[in-house]
Amino acid sequence: MLVCRYLRSVKMTLSVILTPLFFLVFGLILVLFHPIQVIARNVFGPKAHDKTVFALNLCLMRALHILGVGYSFHNFKKLPQDVPIIIISNHQSMWDIPTLIWKFRAQRPKFVAKKELAKGIPSISYNLRHGGSVAIDRKKPKESILKIKSFAKLVKENSFAVCIFPEGTRSRDGKIKPFKVAGVKAILDEIPEALVLPVAIKNTGIIDNNGKFLKNVGVRVAFTQLEPRKLNLSNLESELIAINAEIKSVLEA
C-alpha cells in the first residue's frame, strides 16, 4: 500500500513537472512547421508538403517521450502500392493521428476529420485544409456524405490512403464503440476495389488523463496492424461488426 502511494506520488510530481514542458515543445513544433508547410506546398508542391507533414508528425510522436510515453508496433507489414488503402481504426485520442501518419507515410494517408480541427490550430488546420484531407460537420450527415464521396474521388485520383475512425468520435475510456457504416460506405462506393486495413490502437486515451491539463506519464501505447481485406458492400455492416470485434479482442488481450 505504501509503495503504491509512493509511486502515485512520484507519477503526480513528474506529471506536474513534465506536462508544461511537453505542451511548450508541442506548441513550438506546431508553430515551427506551419510556415515550413506553407513554403513547401506553394514552392515545391504537394509531395514536398506531404514530406513536411510526415516530419511534423514524427516530431509530435517524439514530443510524447517527454511524458515517458513508449510505443510498440505489432504485425506491421509492407503494403501493396498498386491498390487503394482504407485504414480503419478505433479512436482513443488525438495522439492516435501522428503515429498513423508516420507509420503509413508510404501511403500518404489523408483523414476524414471534424470541421472544428480545420481552423485555428497552427500546422494541423493548414494541413487539413490544403493537404488532401476532408473536414466534415457531424451535425450535417447528408452534406458530410457528399463531401466524403468527393474526397474519395480525390484519394483515388492521387493514390492516397484514407484513414477513417468509424466510431465517429473518440472513446476516452478505451472501450471501442460500434462502427458507423455511412462514412466507410461512402468511400467504398467510389473506391470499391480498395483494400481495407484495420488497426487496433491501445492506451493512447490514458495519456489524456480524462481531459485534465496534467497528463499521465509513463504510458505504454500499442498499435497493431490486422490483416488487410476487401469488403463486400452488400454485406458491409456485418463485415464492419466483425472488424470491430477483431479490434476489441486486441484491446482486451
Q: Sorting pLDDT into bands at 50, 70 and 90, what band is 6?
A: low
In the CATH scheme, what is the code of domain 2-252?
3.40.1130
The answer to which of 111-120, 183-192, 208-217 has the lowest mean pLDDT is 111-120
Residue 107: burial class (beta carbons within 10 Å; 0-12, 13-18, 19+):
buried
Going by pLDDT thresholds of 50, 70 and 90, the confidence category of residue 58 is very high
pLDDT in tens, 149-202: 888 888 888 878 999 999 988 887 888 999 999 989 999 999 999 999 999 999
Q: Return the pLDDT at 169.
A: 83
Query: How confident is the model at residue 48, as a pLDDT?
Result: 95
Q: Does residue 9 surpass a pLDDT of 90?
A: no
Give me the helix-helix angle, 2-39 and 46-63, nearest 10°. 160
pLDDT-based confidence at 3, cuts 50/70/90? low
Query: How many CB atoms neighbour CB 154 within 10 A?
Result: 15
Confidence of residue 2 (pLDDT cuts 50, 70, 90): low
| Alpha helices, DSSP H, located in the chain | 2-39, 46-63, 96-103, 124-130, 141-158, 182-190, 204-207, 236-252
pLDDT class for 138, splitting at 50, 70, 90?
confident
Q: Which three cell numbers stand for residue 149?
A: 464521396
For 138-161, the three-class secondary structure string (H helix, E strand, C coil) is: CCCHHHHHHHHHHHHHHHHHHCCE
Instruction: Determine the Cα–Cα distance for residues 218 and 207; give it in Å rounded to an integer.
Output: 9
143: its cell numbers: 452534406
The arithmetic mean of pLDDT across residues 33-43, rounded, is: 97
Average pLDDT, the chain: 92
Are 213 and 12 in contact by the 8 Å Cβ rule? The answer is no
Provide mean pLDDT across the span 78-87.
88
Residue of 221, 252, 224 lying closest to 68 (CA atoms): 221
Which has the minimum average pLDDT: 13-17, 81-85, 128-132?
81-85
DSSP letter assigned to residue 229 = B
pLDDT at 1 (0 to 100): 66
Domain boundaries, the chain: 2-252
pTM summary value: 0.92
- The predicted pLDDT at position 109 comes to 92
